[in-house]
Amino acid sequence: MLPYNKEFGPTRISLCTYKGNEAAMANHLSALKRARQTTKRTATNRANTSSLRTQLRVLREAIEKGDKAAAEQTYRQTVSALDKAIQKGTLHENTASRYKSRLGVRVNAIK
């Protein structure tokens, strides 16, 4: 640090203290804010994706058991979860429609 900069504080502007906040981190306040936002958004997206995948797994397990009533009930919950994933931006609308169609065919095939 140059002598005339000592009165302005440290060389880096760092409001975050976490692992990975070393020399590669951006030094502008706006960039630090964007990094915080990205961290939050990533955690939210990961949670949404995880809950969706869990719901799909539960439906697939119900289909494999062969219980039509339970599979239909779970199918309704899964369709709701898929629609919520579309609203949250976790899943594309066409992808969700494909899931609904293929899973609906499998549910209807249960005797």
What pLDDT does residue 103 have?
Answer: 97
Q: Which regions in the chain score pLDDT beneath 50?
A: none
Location of structure tokens 């002598």: 3
CATH number for the domain spanning 87: value is: 1.20.58.110
What the block records as the tokens of 63 is 């289909």
Provide the percentage of residues in the chain whose pLDDT is more than 70: 77
The model carries a pTM of: 0.69
The helix/strand/coil state of 55 is helix
Spell out where 16-94 has E strands: none
Separation CA 58–CA 98 (nearest Å) = 18
| CB-based contact 14:21 (threshold 8 Å) | yes
Give the number of C-alpha atoms closer than 13 A to the C-alpha of residue 67, restricted to the C-beta side. 10
Domain carrying residue 95? 3-108
Number of structural domains the chain divides into: 1
